[in-house]
Amino acid sequence: MYVTIEEAASYLEIDETKLRQLILQNKIRVVYYNQVPLINTQQFDTHLKEMERIRREIQAYLNEPIPESLDVKDED
């Protein structure tokens, strides 16, 4: 699906200025239709899926209980 720069910035949850910088650096592909830049959102699917996987892994790690240290013993 092709969207405008404003819609793509909202979709990616980044600032529109940052998105324009990435376009100028040729890190994001753009198609021009009637002099309006359009961005295909499918180019971000892999990145968004990977970011979601990393978020889940980090959350799972943070939810793990801290194991008791084997070196510390209560001498009372």
In a domain, 28, yes or no: yes
CATH of the domain at 52: 1.10.10
| Residue 51 in domain | yes
The domain in which residue 29 lies consists of 2-63
Q: What is the DSSP letter of 66?
A: P
Residue 75: the pLDDT is 63
Distance of CA 53 to the CA centre of its chain: 10
pLDDT at 74 over 70: no
Residue spans of alpha helices (H) in the chain:
5-12, 16-24, 45-63
Average model confidence (pLDDT) across the chain: 89
pTM over 0.85: no
Query: What domain count does the chain have?
Result: 1
Which tops the pLDDT comparison, 68 or 63?
Answer: 63
